[in-house]
A and B are shown apart, each in its own frame.
Chain A
């Protein structure tokens, strides 16, 4: 039988199984193969907070979705074209997302009456016609895996653990992925356990060969490499990019870096990554709690290092008081909030962007500080460098907002040249900067740079400049304790003016408005960049006129934001919260932006946004309700319409 090769421009594939089935690893490997092949890609890991929920149950299902294409794409995709379900629970939990006509590859090994009953199937869905609308490939993957690793003498349990590699091999064949990197990976990962290593490699190869020799598949697919700007690329996740960005920022400032952190999902990987980078003069302190984490960071900053702390919303709540102290001390401090779904413990492994108002205002007194937000996994690198620039230059805590979607998601990244990164000057004060009343040279710790309003920063060990700082209100210039009413008012306004003035160094907001005739602007911030961009492309594909802009600086805003907002009839603000940016925009610019809020713990969907955008575009253009079609058409586009390719 000859196997036909079908060209596709993009594919969304989802691996799903038990938490212990290694689905995240499988997804990572498929991603690495795909990246090395040269496709553009975007990933969405989705896993339960429980480390090992009971096997075979719906809450225990873990999945990894990957979208790859021969062109530039923005999201991990709304719906999978291919679902790999390693057990009945994985099938049941994911089928609702799979559109009719999609391919569903199922491991039949666990489809016993008992297992099916446990998750609410009275009949076997593989046999009762329930899956007729799909292209189902039902295989005993576990059985075939065990058979393929027989020679290594493993127990059945150990042997069956390699089933994820068998499945990966099969799918790698189906999509013509290069397999060398996975074999190399397995050789390294299991170097100390030769049996396991050989079994995994054998299973992976067997899966690949099964595709080749068995007649289950009449078609293989090909997705050509994407045309991307010239350069060297790697795949990178948001948390890794953030860790590297922090190191880059510290290095460009010539400062040692001290991370104080307490483990918390989804931020812990930043701690893990940074703890490997000691030779970059990076110190990591796993503190006793969130408060100590930020405290140690601030203490290190006092000593002249770059203090950094990484956490998620609940941890930021605990750190608030120390961040307020940082505002008062006017010392550099980078605080990374990898947001997760809240409130309280919320849904630790799910994403959300509902900490914006917390980081803006969640401190006692008037305690302004800069807030920046990454818009894609790779952008976490640049945003960390930018946060460091602001923190060091302006002597202030800076909040970096990322979220679970960016943290765990990955995309190809055009690796920048280190020389192209900004140089950051800590500009330590090493000599007296004033003359005292006694005519002698003296040091005034709160004497400010007239341009930036940043205070003079002398670090311990600098002779003649010893001084005391603290959380009590301080007198202008001297930093001495002061309860003077006029001085307090001055200091409050000065600290605010310092933060506001950062806007002078922020690039103006760029608006993507191809022919300049759009009446509606979609404005987002943070990780909604991808879904909004994909939604906008859909609307443009069906003929709608729409402008898009995305904020990376949330405080202060870019100076031209007000003008941008006022130049459109309507401004749509989609957010994964109940309208927090919308509230800030209304308050600051008195513009009644249209808030679109979805707080499901999942990223916004491109189709969903396309519907909302299309509808608003027509409403703004005065088209009657019943005559509108743009939103529906844009939402209905299938991937065969090259929708994410339209610019």
Chain B
């Protein structure tokens, strides 16, 4: 077998390249559909929906060129509530469906809305393959660490030992760290944000939209019915400063009340949280966050600063954003190349072929 140079398009293209611009400024209201929103009172999905509806007009693209694709689960009702094109599909398959849509239609901004069960359990295969292909679509993974729609079974992100209806003696499963998983799957854009921090959420969504390729955004989202306060450490004013490790490109990773904590390199390819005061060089010993680091080992090390069990501490922000050609761009480029080289296909000569005979 041989390989060919794919003639990759150079430069970091915008994720919205090819999507037609809106004729006039848009408002949040235009993106609100006429459907009654039916999540449980207090659900974190409301906050994400409100942020999303507020953020879409800022993109300045035509509303009819936004397509939302979801799977099954509470979060997957999302498309119904946006006045864009949308498909509420089947469990776990949204990334596959969106891959076909994004490949067929370069003029659309395609978004996948999914949950921890939808994306990481039943749809795990499609998620990892979409990430490795780097299809130009945006995946919002609402992680509430529980199955909500089926009424409270543990999910692939539930902490070990979790007692649920299906695990009365505690779950014995080891959970996924979604950010680590995405990085392992060669994702080019990996971020995490929180439902309750609208400003941060919006900034991450914007970066995701503008990234060319698959953007993977894990959103910590509270389920008040079946897993309330799973992210309490992040929301409680008394703990949140020490819980949230903010990732800001180009800045030292420093956090905690009065910035007493920081992230340093620790042994072979690992990172660790330390008291800044204990570091010989002080802040200069801290890691300066570089989301564009090609080697995914750095972002992976960052992702491991997340608790695997009950959440006390986790990085928030963009872990990784690197440039790699998008699958759908390459696929379309091959069609263009083939068409330019040989001209558009002529059906009659195709079916006739070269080896014919005539009966008179």
Contacts and interface: CB of A to CB of B under 8 A. Distances in A.
B105 A461 contact: yes
Contact of A460 (B93, B105, B338): B105
B101 A300 contact: yes
A460 B335 contact: no
A295 B351 contact: no
Contact of B129 (A36, A181, A282, A292): A292
Given A468-B68, A471-B89, 13 more contacts: A232-B358, A235-B355, A278-B339, A281-B339, A285-B100, A285-B331, A299-B97, A299-B101, A299-B102, A303-B100, A303-B101, A415-B351, A468-B88
Nearest to A240: B353
Contact of B85 (A229, A322, A460): A460
Given A321-B90, A469-B87, A307 B100 contact: yes
Contacts, number: 209
Interface stretch (A75-83, A141-149, A244-252, A401-409): A244-252
A298 B100 contact: yes
Contact of B96 (A295, A416, A470): A295
Contacts of A292: 93, 96, 99, 125-126, 129
Interface in B188-243: none
Interface stretch (B59-67, B139-147, B168-176, B257-265): B59-67
Given A381-B351, A418-B348, A466-B64, A288 B125 contact: yes
Nearest to A469: B87
B64 A462 contact: yes
Interface in A447-469: 460-469
A311 interface: no
Contacts of A415: 351-352, 356
B152 interface: no
B100 A288 contact: no
Given A278-B335, A279-B339, A481 B80 contact: yes
B129 A283 contact: no
Given A278-B335, A415-B351, A418-B351, A469 B88 contact: yes
Interface in B61-118: 62-65, 67-69, 72, 79-80, 82-90, 93, 96-105, 107-108
A235 B351 CA distance: 11
Of A324, A466, A481, the most chain B CB neighbours within 10 A belong to A466
A233 B356 contact: yes
A213 interface: no
Given A295-B100, A297-B100, A251 B347 contact: yes
A110 interface: no
Nearest to A280: B345
A466 B83 contact: yes
Given A300-B104, A468-B33, A230 B85 contact: no
B63 A322 contact: no
Contacts of B334: 278
A277 interface: yes
A417 interface: yes
Contacts of B3: none
Contacts of B125: 288-289, 292
B150 interface: no
A303 B108 contact: yes
Of B64, B87, B344, the most chain A CB neighbours within 10 A belong to B87
B97 A303 contact: no
Interface string B269-304: 000000000000000000000000000000000000
B340 to A, nearest CB: 9
B6 interface: no
A463 B338 contact: no
Contacts of B88: 468-472
Nearest to A480: B35
Given A460-B65, A461-B65, A461-B108, A279 B90 contact: no
Of B99, B331, B332, B334, the most chain A CB neighbours within 10 A belong to B99
Contacts of B331: 283, 285
B126 A234 contact: no
A35 interface: yes
Nearest to A236: B353
Of B85, B86, B338, B358, the most chain A CB neighbours within 10 A belong to B85
A547 interface: no
Given A280-B347, A296-B97, A463 B355 contact: no
Contact of A322 (B93, B103, B335): B93
Contacts of B83: 466
Contact of A464 (B64, B65, B350, B359): B64
Contact of A232 (B67, B97, B105, B352): B352
Nearest to B99: A296
Contact of B359 (A228, A298, A480): A228
Of A228, A288, A463, the most chain B CB neighbours within 10 A belong to A288
Contacts of A159: none
Given A283-B103, A303-B108, A460-B85, A288 B126 contact: yes
A305 B107 CA distance: 13
A462 B20 CA distance: 12
A153 interface: no
B10 interface: no
Contacts of B96: 260, 287-288, 291-292, 295-296, 299
A298 B101 CA distance: 8
Nearest to B341: A279
Contact of A461 (B64, B126, B332): B64
25 contacts: A230-B360, A232-B356, A233-B357, A234-B352, A247-B350, A277-B350, A279-B342, A283-B104, A285-B331, A288-B129, A295-B99, A299-B87, A299-B98, A299-B104, A302-B97, A304-B104, A321-B90, A322-B93, A324-B90, A415-B351, A416-B351, A460-B101, A466-B85, A469-B86, A471-B72
Given A38-B357, A278-B339, A468-B79, A285 B99 contact: yes
B11 interface: no
B271 to A, nearest CB: 32
B343 A279 contact: yes
Given A35-B355, A291-B96, A303-B105, A468 B64 contact: no
A181 B347 contact: no
Contacts of B86: 466-470
Interface in A230-277: 230-235, 244, 247-248, 251, 256, 258, 260, 277
B100 A460 contact: no
A76 to B, nearest CB: 20
Nearest to B129: A288
A91 interface: no
A462 B331 CA distance: 24
A230 B359 contact: yes
A298 B65 contact: no
A307 B101 CA distance: 10
A506 interface: no
Interface in A305-341: 305, 307, 321-322, 324-325, 329
A233 B360 CA distance: 11
Nearest to B80: A468
A465 B100 CA distance: 21
B93 A295 contact: yes
B347 A418 contact: yes
A35 B98 CA distance: 45
